[in-house]
Structure 1
């Protein structure tokens, strides 16, 4: 088999669980104007959205046009003001908004038409008047005039389109019950629509700088730790996630310069950007026999480096009841084991976390789970042997001691050639 064929089959196997998991799930994708302005990137995105539609995902698109509107205003010599990073829409600007957004929408629809033709499909994208708007109002003494916010969305109509296999497209233009035209801030609209639909995912394309100082994954509660270090636009995204993201299960931030970001984020374990999750992203649970292969894959690099003692598959299968694991999307990314030594003492062993997830404090979670399990088993002292990470364990309440402190029936198995440091911790309820 050629390497290209092998890569294809391996990638398809890796993506298969995610294809099944995402089927019939609703995802809202925010498309900034900067991305739409690049024809090659736009066509690639259209092809990817058609692919998602074919795979059974329910896709809703929200259209951004800030870049194009700025250009149109500059070309006409129009001045505008902003407050709280939101454009103030004057009545005399509405015609330019309507012309520009209509043009951007036609670009998007043309790209989808081409993408569908290559797959011999009918055009699945549909735009319509499903949003009722209301004025954003006067905030801190500033009248936003014809800048609006989402008042209500016709969920029934949108869900009917999704169930029919079509892709609804929502533009920044929306109308009030009295027929007034409003310009909705596109980022705010994306969050509002995803919340109203209780979407499984909100996918946000943003500038590369947005992702540079953010972790691979974080919860809504973690956002406050990162806010101060961000630029204005990133702060705005994170603040919207805090205030409007509770009804959205997962929010994905992707680099608009990466044409493959959407598929990588959905169909690979590690994705390509930053995930903000409101549901529990990982699961910590007792290990099962089916987890043996995943544990072996996780600890193999550490065994090769001499950090962990090598374990055979046979021994691991026999000892699997001693293990706890951390799982993300059916992948084992952390483990730890508790081995009883006698009626009062136990040994913590094989604590490992995938390097890609070490900023998520999973090691602390595993340590706490092992300590809880030890107390529930009637043990009051934990020992561990380590050659590399003793400082981390000392920082979590262990004290260094000598091999002579090990219980008698564990001391005889101490490997003097490894010269492992012995650490000890007294457990308390």
Structure 2
């Protein structure tokens, strides 16, 4: 039905909407995104973030704008170690380029035509001299002149704007106490801003879709350590190579998550932020998936997780009271602080064995390897307790366990205490794996 198709995405996005309200996102767009006309399609999605209570800082680049103006004025581009040398003529071009880019961005963010996503939005865009810069100086004997680096940010002013519901637009230019302007990079400004504001997210909107593996497949989740290893091995695709070091630094200095997302794939930004699968690459300081002991506050999530499997007669029905009494035997699997799996272990020390029970993974994550993680965790628990084997009772998933080294045994070989509870009407098959 149309009502279900309309409502279901809202329900799936609700946990993220609740989590992100009041949080700071730093979005970084390149000058190419503005120059090639991709930004107007991003503007409605950025406006939606603000309307949902996300506090947005938008940082833009100006590389192609500078290059076009230099060519128009007959001036030569000068670089050293991939950084632009900004002389007297070039700093004037930088100022012009910033004006052109900001005007295009503000125009797109001001759209409010009827029947458009931004109708009635009245999004306010603010900015100012909140970024203090200093000269990069002489590098390898080359005077970088008006090329600079971030010295500090006026976070108090930025927080005040964000608290007022404004979108803060920042350009890659900073000012010194002596009244000089310095040309900066978008990547540095975005990263330093995210760190200084303790942002929830730093998001680079890039030409590609994210970090790709050796087979050209998108890597959805990475730790900062894994990103570092790929950079060291030079196995990062060109579209992501420029931005990945900044995501690593940001996550190691307090930014909760960093993302690389396509700037041209329609809806990619919202898909990355408000679905569990995402559309780009997310980088975090620590692994996103973790196993932990369940506690009484997890009961509601556990019941929601196992209820569909109970209805399909895959799992035995468990009451809330039963889960509360047995909660100490359960382990939950979290991905990005949301529970997607669980398992229980019931040891029988006299027989040196344990039952693996209530292994469940959310439907949308069945192909994520979460079942394997939970199985290995129970195996580890059993070994550390000196147990020699694991057994499981199942009616529907026999092949899954057989493929993982379990073999069938008759119910008569169950530990006596468990054999007394065996349900002859359910007629579950019993499988065992020796450790």
Verify same fold: TM over 0.5.
Answer: yes
CA distance in 2, matches of 1:355, 1:79: 58
Shift of the alpha carbon at 1:365? 5.2
C-alpha separation in 1, matches of 2:419 and 2:376: 25
Counterpart among 248, 253, 257 of residue 242 in structure 1? 248
Relative to 1, partners in 2 of residues 1:356 and 1:11: Cα closer, same or farther, differing over 3 Å? closer
* 2:160 counterpart SS class: helix
Q: Does the aligned pair in 2 maintain the 1:205–1:256 contact within 8 Å?
A: yes
Pair 1:256 & 2:249 matched: no
Tell me: CA distance 1:289–1:265, structure 2 relative to 1, closer, same or farther (3 Å): same
In the TM superposition, residue 163 of structure 1 has moved relative to its aligned partner by 0.9
Q: For 1:298 and 1:326, how far apart are their aligned partners in 2?
A: 17
TM-score, normalised via structure 1 length: 0.81
CA deviations 1:321-369 (Å, max 9, x no partner) are 3432212356432333313245332133565656976998756753564
Q: Does the CA-based 8 Å contact 1:340-1:347 persist in structure 2?
A: yes
Distance across 2 between alignment mates of 1:50 and 1:240: 25
Q: Over the residues paired in the alignment, what is the CA RMSD in angstroms?
A: 3.6
Aligned position for 1:266:
273
Note the residue ranges of structure 2 that are not aligned, 5 or more in a row: 393-397
> How many residues are matched?
408
Separation in 2 of the partners of 1:358 and 1:182? 51
8 Å Cα contact 1:348-1:382 kept in structure 2: no
The answer to whether structure 1 residue 229 and structure 2 residue 240 are counterparts is no
- Deviation at residue 151 of structure 1 after TM alignment: 0.4
| CA deviation vs aligned residue, 1:25-47 (integer Å, no higher than 9, x gap) | 111110122222344x4233222
Structure 1 equivalent of residue 97 of structure 2:
100
Deviation at 1:423, TM superposition (A): 2.1
Aligned residues of 1:201 and 1:248 also touching (Cα < 8 A): yes
Residue deviations 1:118-170, cap 9 Å, x none? 54354410121110011223344444332211101001111111111111111
Q: Aligned equivalents of 2:113 and 2:188: distance in 1?
A: 29
Alignment of 1:6-21 (within 5 A): 6-21=4-19
Task: Provide the residue aligned with 2:395 in structure 1.
Answer: none
Give the structure 2 partner of residue 387 of structure 1.
Answer: 399
What secondary structure is seen at the aligned counterpart in 2 of 1:212? coil
Name the CA shift for 1:131/1:330 in 2 (closer, same or farther; >3 Å): closer
Which one is further off, 239-248 or 144-153?
A: 239-248
1:24 is aligned to: 22
**Residue deviations 1:106-126, cap 9 Å, x none?**
011111121498543544101
CA gap of 1:138–1:233, structure 2 versus 1, over 3 A, is farther
Do the aligned partners of residues 356 and 237 (structure 1) sit closer, same or farther apart at CA in structure 2, a change above 3 Å counting? farther
CA distance in 2, matches of 1:360, 1:139: 47
Rounded to whole Å, the distance in 2 between the matches of 1:297 and 1:86 is 57
Partner-residue secondary structure (3-state), 2:340 = strand
Who is 1:290 aligned against?
Answer: 300
Per the alignment, residue 397 of structure 1 pairs with none
| 2:402 is equivalent to residue 366 of structure 1 | no
Q: 2:40 aligns with which of 38, 43, 46?
A: 43
SS of the counterpart of 1:27? strand
TM-score using structure 2 length: 0.80
> SS of 2:245's equivalent?
helix
List per-residue Cα deviations over 1:179-199 (Å, max 9, x = no partner): 222111111211111111111
Instruction: Tell whether the 8 Å contact from 1:250 to 1:279 is kept in structure 2 after alignment.
Output: no
CA separation of 1:225 and 1:293: change in aligned 2, threshold 3 A = farther
**What is the CA-CA distance between 1:70 and the residue it aligns to?**
2.9
Residue 135 of structure 1 pairs with residue 135 of structure 2:
yes
- CA offsets 1:226-272 (integer angstroms, 9 cap, x no match): 32211345233222223343221111111111231222222222222
Residue matched to 1:310: 314
Unaligned runs of 5+ in 1: 395-399
Quick one: distance in 2 between partners of 1:87 and 1:418?
Answer: 70
Contact 1:387 1:418 in 2 (8 A): no
Residues 380, 91 of structure 1: alpha-carbon distance in 2 compared, 3 angstrom cutoff: same
Equivalence map 1:11-410=2 (5 Å): 11-39=9-37, 41-115=38-112, 118-208=118-208, 210-213=210-213, 214-227=218-231, 228-246=234-252, 247-278=254-285, 281-287=288-294, 288-296=298-306, 310-314=314-318, 318=322, 321=327, 322-328=329-335, 331-343=338-350, 344-349=352-357, 351=359, 366-367=374-375, 369-371=377-379, 373-374=381-382, 378-384=385-391, 387-388=399-400, 403=409, 408-409=415-416
